Amino acid sequence: MALVTQFITLEISLVDAEGDLVAWIEAALAEQGHPLRWAITHIDPVPGMATVEAVITVPS
Amino acid sequence: MLFGSSMVQDMCHRRPYTAILVVPTGIGAAIGGYAGDALPVARGLAAVVDTLITHPNVMNGAQLYWPIANALYVEGYGLDQFAAGRWGLHPVHGNRIGLVLDQGIETELRWRHLQAAEAARATLGLDLTDYVVTDAPLGVALRTAASGATWGTIQQPDALLRAVEKALAAGATAIAVVARFPDDTDDTVLQSYRQGQGVDPLAGAEAVISHLVVRTFQVPCAHAPALSPLPLDPKISPKSAAEEIGYTFLPCVLAGLSRAPQFVTTLAQGAALWADQVDAIIAPTSAWGGSAVLSLSRPGIQAIAVDANTTTLAVTADALGLPVIRVASYLEAIGLIVAHRAGVQAQALTAKVPRLQALGQGFPPLDR
């Protein structure tokens, strides 16, 4: 199956991410595609939100 | 005599000390954000641990590299899987490297890379298969995100994967990829990078290429960009200078891959190093949002955040509620590792030793 690489950003709630933060982020990314590389790149502590930047692959 | 016996006993019964050094690429790390300029940190750390696990961004200095006998060269996607406990690292005596060249590389530049590969065979004794050229230009595109981090995409990922498949079928056990990167990088960004400032504009796309190969085939992989030579600039920073002294960035990649550990995904695949054997992880204080550091910020692992290695980010372990020890510099981090390995509580090396408190009142941070 042919692939396309895409850059995406996600806003995730750190408050809701109980336990395994990596699994929480990977699950959120998996709704968009297959994650290749990601990182939390910004934290807004008051509402407890984090920005995740990622490159994913999706079928073309 | 008693002292000698005690030393022997310690060497016989102490389990090996394993540390991971992470300097994420493409975020303007003050140490390690340029041309292999975190390699001295890796050399220093490797001298005080039994095994150092680190990644190409730390070890690669274009034409320059430094073989570290007890360091494992692990590509970032594989490092993330290792840290998450999904993959193990199986050390090898040597790998046979398959060289994959982007069809988008012009003839003269391709010859420069082939000659670098031939030199690695003849001068270093490395084992390479015949090379593979992709059946379409990979089409690397660069991007800088709102955070300041650089990322990238490739237009023809399937062409890359087909070429890697051919190299593996020819007997390769590790993959070196050379992709043609655009020469039209923003001039201001490029000049800053060459002067040891700002963010490496290529880094994010490089990581995506190697991540795709490792995710798909579970073999060691690293990437070198092919670029047209730049005009001489007498003001080049020492931190970026390693990329100014030749036609390719390939030699360090071949040297690193030549002894990179293989990945194993099950215990049945033989002896390997797994995440539960890691004793310490060291990363920049402001870049605690990557997969590997998040996975390993847990009780039982000494997580060390280094303030001096500033980046474009401000994602701290404190903000994520994760337990780390913050240190000013890598010099201090190395001292902390030595103390940890010796079983010495770090606070006892300072003039301040606070009294014990009733359980539940928290433990104060390291006070110098």
Structural domain boundaries in chain A: 3-59
Q: Inspect the interface and report whether the beta carbons of B315 and A4 lie closer than 8 Å.
A: no
B3 against B362, higher pLDDT: B362
Q: Is the pLDDT of residue B97 over 80?
A: yes
Quickly tell me which residue has 């695949």 as its tokens: B269
The contacts of residue B158 (CB under 8 Å, 6+ apart) are A2, A3
Instruction: Check residue B264 and give its pLDDT.
Output: 96
Smallest CA–CA separation between B320 and chain A, in Å? 8
Percentage of chain B beyond pLDDT 90 is: 76
Q: Could you tell me the pTM of the whole model?
A: 0.94
Residue B212 to residue A36, Cβ atoms within 8 A: yes
Q: Is A58 on the interface with B (CB under 8 A)?
A: no
DSSP class of B344? -
**DSSP annotation string for B192-255:** HHHTT-S--TTHHHHHHHHHHHHHHH-S-EEEEEE-PPPPP-TT--TTTGGGGSSS-SHHHHHH
A4 to B80, B158, B243, B314, B352: CA distances (angstroms): 22, 8, 30, 30, 56
Q: What is the mean pLDDT of residues B135-150?
A: 91
The model's pLDDT over B236-268, given as tens digits with 9 standing for 90+, comes to 999 999 988 999 999 999 999 999 999 999 888
Over 70: is that where the pLDDT of B121 sits? yes
B149–A42 C-beta distance less than 8 A: no
Select from A2, A9, A37 the Cβ nearest to the Cβ of B207: A37
E strands, chain B, are: 18-21, 51-54, 71-73, 88-90, 96-101, 127-128, 132-133, 140-144, 150-154, 174-180, 221-226, 262-264, 280-284, 302-306, 325-327
Q: What would the pLDDT profile of B6-61 be if each residue is shown by its tens digit?
A: 444 455 678 999 999 999 999 999 999 999 999 999 999 999 999 999 999 999 99
ipTM value of the model? 0.95
Partner B contacted by A6 (CB < 8 A): yes
* Residue B6 pLDDT: 47
Chain A interface, best mutation among B22, B210, B212, B214, by max A CB count within 10 A: B212
Nearest CA of chain B to the CA of A32: how many Å? Answer: 16
Helices B39-46 and B330-342: angle between axes, nearest 10 degrees: 20
The pLDDT confidence band at residue B2, using thresholds 50, 70 and 90, is very low
Rounded distance between C-alpha atoms, residue A21 and residue A35, angstroms: 15
With CB atoms and an 8 Å threshold, state whether B211 touches A37.
yes
